[in-house]
Chains A and B, each alone.
Chain A
Amino acid sequence: MIVIAALALWFVALSFHALLQAKLCRIMALPVLPHLPLHLGRLVLPLVALWLCLRLGTVPGVLTWFGTASVAGIIASLALTAISLRQPGRRNLGDRTADAL
């Protein structure tokens, strides 16, 4: 249960991190969102996840915290990619952005 909760917290925190990046917002065609709640969420949620994970014990807790961060990152990335793929005309924008990098 703790692992699932930590995964969910990391998922939201990393999604907030992504929403703070102008490039990702452009790809997903999202308007600029208010930064303060996103910054706060990005900062606080991983700490809550850490607090939860440490209830498993120090070493398992830290390893679980890192592990859930990695897996949640992949899930968040796939979710954001799915959102960006649903936007009309994203393919061209994606290619242009890719070329610009």
Chain B
Amino acid sequence: MRDNLRIRMGWLHEWVGFVGGLILVITFTAGSLALFDTELTRWMQPELSRYTPAPMTDQALNEVGTLAAEMRSEGANAFITLPTPRDPIIRIQHFDGHAFVGSAYRPDTAFPVATRQTGGGQLFFDLHHSLYYGPFWGNMLTEIAAIGLLVAVGSGVVIHFRSIFTDLLLFRPFASKTRAFMDAHILAGILFLPFMVMMAYTGAVIHAPRLFPMFGGNHHGRPGHERPQQTAHSQHTHTPRTEADDAPAAAPLAPMFHQAEDVFGTGTIGLVLFDHGKVSMTKADSASFAITRDHLEFSETDGTLLKTVRAPDTLHRLGGTLRGLHFIRWAPLPLRWLYFLSGLVGSAMMSGGLVLFLMKHRNQKAGRFDFRLAETLTIAVTTGLPLACLAYLWANRLIWSDIQFRSGIEVRVFFGVWAFSVAHAAWRSFSGRSKQGWNEQCFLFAAFALALLPLDLLTRSMNSFFNGLDVYKAVDLTVIGLGTLAFLIHRRLATP
């Protein structure tokens, strides 16, 4: 009976794991990078390396508020992000359908910093939660994949239940290749089980309204009637602008900001949103563990306080807590690194699972089209995606900084390289040399990753080079570490 259950669970784990795994490797890789989306955006705006952080002044906030109001009067759906320790600069941003883009200003003088246009780390955020496929179908796919992960984890635990504690640290690279891959898959799966379950569960719950739209008209815990969602769809079909929207702000923002800080605490306000003649001083996601988007609403014309909006009930607070656990924007740097490492190991674990699936079916089905297709897709997500991410960073530094539609071109490079990796994987797989496909992509990744540091040094100001570890060096060193790992895998694959 017990073995029968294990066999059935094995079948479930294998097929749900493979189909879901193709999406989940993308989700976990992109999610790990999205943990440092702000830092990656800064890396991708090397002009900011010349900037030294300064505290925000009231005058600067008021001036940026006037600029934002002018942009809004010209039809842009602009809002302001205030300086945080992670991004110590004021930005006026708008949603371009996939990412929040805009201009940067010094927080002490409101002097514009001429940064290049880029989607930055937000590409990975979009890829993580919707596969760059829009808020409906994309979210739906990742949502279903998250549920698939929970099924795969549950069935995996049943399969290995008998040896789950005794073999907790068992890894035998000297055994057969299948056994070594299986050990690595189980090792990472069990050790990171709490992380996987927590991320899959919170991720599924956050986007649950996509699967069950009949149970609520809002999303992300934000009542739909209070602030329309800024989505690709809403960009084109937003409500008609009123006269109050179009008029430049009459009231200065600084008094509103201080009033909001009095209510929510010093250093907690992160967003200034504008909507139908109202200004919302909104709590930053990093201000507390639960993301509730509490805010104070002011009249845009005279700055009088209209209302204080807090999470209305326990259900919304619970939703905020789950989002806080998933996004961890509140967390200190060491914890974000732990999440990052856990995400990467999760991605590697699922990649190992995909390879095990191919190993199992290779003997009987190696010549079949569907097997070759599965192998192509596996290569594309395991090595092709990291290659595309790296190409995105390279494109950021090599494309002219003042070219029009720059952020769109960077994204096209990302998808272009990914498409190239799919084509390369298909060529190698359908010609029966899939190992070479993996090997070549690993080598390409290693070569370009190890050369990223010189590229960074050549394409940005070196004023702050000896000022200790900053985001630029952190990104370079992390990529070098990943490149070294890819090179070791390449060496291993090259060994007959």
Contacts and interface: CB of A to CB of B under 8 A. Distances in A.
A74 B187 contact: yes
A38 interface: no
A55 B496 CA distance: 51
Given A59-B289, A95-B175, A69 B338 contact: no
Nearest to B192: A70
Contact of B187 (A67, A77, A94): A77
A24 B169 contact: yes
Interface stretch (B327-335, B409-417, B468-476): B327-335
Q: How large is the interface on B (under 10, 10 to 19, 20 to 34, 35 or more residues)?
A: 20 to 34
B173 A81 contact: yes
B373 interface: no
Given A73-B191, A74-B191, A74-B345, A24 B338 contact: no
User: In terms of DSSP, what is the predominant structure of the interface of chain B?
Assistant: loop
Contacts of A98: 172, 175-176, 179
A33 interface: no
A71 B341 contact: yes
B171 A81 contact: yes
Contacts of B192: 70
Contacts of A60: 331-332, 335
Contacts of A74: 187-188, 191, 345
Contacts of A84: 172, 174
Nearest to B178: A98
Contacts, number: 92
A49 interface: no
B188 A14 contact: no
A73 B335 CA distance: 17
Contacts of A76: 169
B175 A97 contact: yes
B191 A27 contact: no
A44 interface: no
Nearest to B180: A98
B418 to A, nearest CB: 28
A60 B229 CA distance: 30
B191 A69 contact: yes
Contacts of A54: none
B253 to A, nearest CB: 32
A67 B342 contact: yes
A18 interface: yes
Interface in A53-101: 56, 59-60, 63-64, 66-71, 73-74, 76-78, 80-81, 84-85, 90-91, 94-95, 97-98, 101
Interface string A12-34: 00100110010110010000000
A15 B341 CA distance: 20
Given A17-B169, A18-B169, A66 B195 contact: yes
Contacts of A8: none
B462 interface: no
A52 interface: no
Contacts of B334: 3, 64
B194 interface: yes
Nearest to A17: B168
Residue from A67, A85, A90, A95 with most neighbouring chain B CB atoms (10 Å):
A67
Contacts of A27: 170, 172
A24 to B, nearest CB: 6
Given A60-B331, A60-B332, A71 B338 contact: yes
A67 B332 CA distance: 13
Contacts of B166: 21, 23
Contacts of A59: 289
A101 B331 CA distance: 42
A85 B338 contact: no
Contacts of B169: 14, 17-18, 24, 73, 76-77, 80
B175 A90 contact: no
Contacts of B36: none
B194 A66 contact: yes
A67 B339 contact: yes
Contacts of B179: 98, 101
B167 interface: yes
Interface string B175-191: 11001000000011001
A71 B345 CA distance: 9
Nearest to B187: A77
Given A64-B334, A69-B191, A73-B191, 6 more contacts: A64-B338, A67-B338, A73-B169, A74-B345, A97-B175, A98-B176
Interface of B: 165-176, 179, 187-188, 191-192, 194-195, 289, 325, 328, 331-332, 334-335, 338-339, 341-342, 345
16 contacts: A14-B168, A17-B165, A21-B170, A27-B170, A66-B195, A67-B195, A70-B192, A70-B195, A70-B345, A74-B345, A77-B170, A81-B173, A84-B174, A95-B174, A98-B179, A101-B179
A-B complex: 8 closest residue pairs judged by Cβ atoms:
A67-B338, A98-B175, A73-B191, A98-B179, A77-B169, A94-B174, A3-B334, A91-B174
